[in-house]
Structure 1
Amino acid sequence: MNRIGSLFLKGLVVTIPVAMTIAIVWWFAATAERVLGGLLTEILPGGWYVPGMGLASAVGLVLLVGVLSHVLFFQKLFFWSEAWLNRLPLIKTIYTAIKDFIGYFSPEQQGQLSKVVLVTLPGQRYQCLGFVTREAFDDLPLPLAVDDAVAVYLPMSYQIGGYTLYLPRECITAVDISFEEGMRLAITGGVTRRPASPTPPAGMVSGTPEDS
């Protein structure tokens, strides 16, 4: 029974992420087809609508929003809309949490947090995983009490918050992992594991067949 339970749990570990990914993609496609597809059916002449146009319209709409986010007028419009949402107590909490979580995986954020480090606080032996966000402060009026300071963001597990510490460079140690892997480690509390390297088949040495 223990063996069966162990196999079942391993099956869940493999199945759940795949199932959730498929469910999210399916929900996005179904919603796009239902909402935008229905709108296109009403707008287009009879017989012009082809299944899949709603999904294509949704993808195009998201790309359009990405393009408009670089236009100053629409940047101000997005800012005003966000400021209005931040005035609503419950909506503010949900919106901010979702925005912060998704924002970690944006190209701009990955560029800013590309350096993954381990932080060792003075006088302590434990270490925290963090991301360097700034290494120069000449343009900021911050009276930092340390020399050669760096700003390091320490996210909490499961993205319930985080702290930004201004530390001397000697307190950090660079870690040779990608931003995505570092963020997975931080958000999941270290539960995630690096995939093991595949074992070469018998008769293979360093990818070269052994001589017969």
Structure 2
Amino acid sequence: MAALRKWLFAGLLVLVPLIITLWVLDWVVSTLDQTLRVLPASWQPDQWLGMHIPGLGVLFALAVLLSIGALASNIIGNKLVHWWHAMLHRIPVVRSIYSGVKQVSDTLFSEKGNAFRKAILVQWPREGMWTIAFLTGSPAGEVAKELPDDCLSVYVPTTPNPTGGYFVMVPRSQCVELAMSVDEALTYVISMGVIVPGSPKSPKLKPAAVLPDA
């Protein structure tokens, strides 16, 4: 029985990551294939090819993204984009949603954007318990007036899905800067501490490093 249990877990360790990876890829390809529905029926690849070829939607979506990006990069396209943004900002309900999504997308996808600046340690959800977090900036505006001068804006991700988390403002003295990249820290979070980037040993807490101004 011990040998069977060992073989069972060994098989799961091999197959589960592969199955999940294939499932995610199949979902992505299937979803992007739906973009072909924007084309007229006579232009559908399934019609003039006589068969369905998975992945054509991926190529179509990529071509659309590249075309829009090329258009937005020139002077005329840039003016059209600004006109489009101005029009959406004049619609009462749409502007509140669009402006928020636009700010997040600019931070995440812009070449000059820097959503996560540093990987740090903070005490969360209570004193004495530590977790990995990411420095996103410094409080500003009305919020900054109500906080001490040395506070930092911090994103605390959840595990194993780092896309959900908490936004908190923490005193600089309570943040410990980590000597690892943001990608390495994300790997550590997603793996629930199983994969420790750069070292097979568990990290030890060190005195708080002085973080530069955000």
Normalised by the length of structure 2, the TM-score is: 0.58
SS, match of residue 106 in structure 1: helix
Distance, in Å, in 1 between the alignment partners of 2:162 and 2:84 is 29
SS, match of residue 183 in structure 1: helix
Distance, in Å, in 2 between the alignment partners of 1:196 and 1:13 is 25
Aligned to 1:60: 63
* Kept after mapping to 1: 8 A contact 2:121/2:133: yes
* Kept after mapping to 2: 8 A contact 1:37/1:54: no
Distance, in Å, in 2 between the alignment partners of 1:189 and 1:166 is 25
Displacement, 1:160?
Answer: 7.5
Aligned to 2:183: 180
Aligned to 1:74: 84
Deviations 1:94-121 (A, max 9, x none): xx9xx7xx96993349613121110137
SS, match of residue 145 in structure 2: coil
Indicate which of 134, 137, 143 corresponds to 1:134: 137
Distance, in Å, in 1 between the alignment partners of 2:116 and 2:171 is 18
Q: Which aligned pairs between 1:50-199 and structure 2 lie closer than 5 A?
A: 55-66=58-69, 68=72, 71-76=81-86, 83-84=93-94, 106-108=108-110, 111-120=114-123, 124-135=127-138, 137=140, 140-141=141-142, 142-157=144-159, 158=161, 161-186=164-189, 188=190, 190=192, 193-194=195-196
Indicate which of 7, 10, 14 corresponds to 2:10: 7
Aligned length: 175
SS, match of residue 195 in structure 2: coil
SS, match of residue 4 in structure 1: helix
Displacement, 1:79?
Answer: 5.7
**Which residues of structure 2 form unaligned runs of 5+?**
200-214
Distance, in Å, in 2 between the alignment partners of 1:77 and 1:18 is 41
Distance, in Å, in 1 between the alignment partners of 2:131 and 2:187 is 14
* Kept after mapping to 2: 8 A contact 1:118/1:128: yes
Change (3 A) 1:81 1:30: farther
* Kept after mapping to 2: 8 A contact 1:36/1:54: no
SS, match of residue 59 in structure 1: helix
Identity value in percent: 17
* Kept after mapping to 2: 8 A contact 1:115/1:132: yes
Give, as a single letter, the amino acid of the residue that structure 2 aligns with 1:155: P
Distance, in Å, in 2 between the alignment partners of 1:183 and 1:75 is 33
Aligned to 2:206: none
Change (3 A) 1:85 1:166: closer
Displacement, 1:185?
Answer: 4.1
SS, match of residue 151 in structure 1: strand
Distance, in Å, in 2 between the alignment partners of 1:194 and 1:115 is 17
Moved over 6 A (4+): none
Normalised by the length of structure 1, the TM-score is: 0.58
Distance, in Å, in 2 between the alignment partners of 1:160 and 1:53 is 28
Two-structure CA RMSD over aligned residues (Å): 4.5
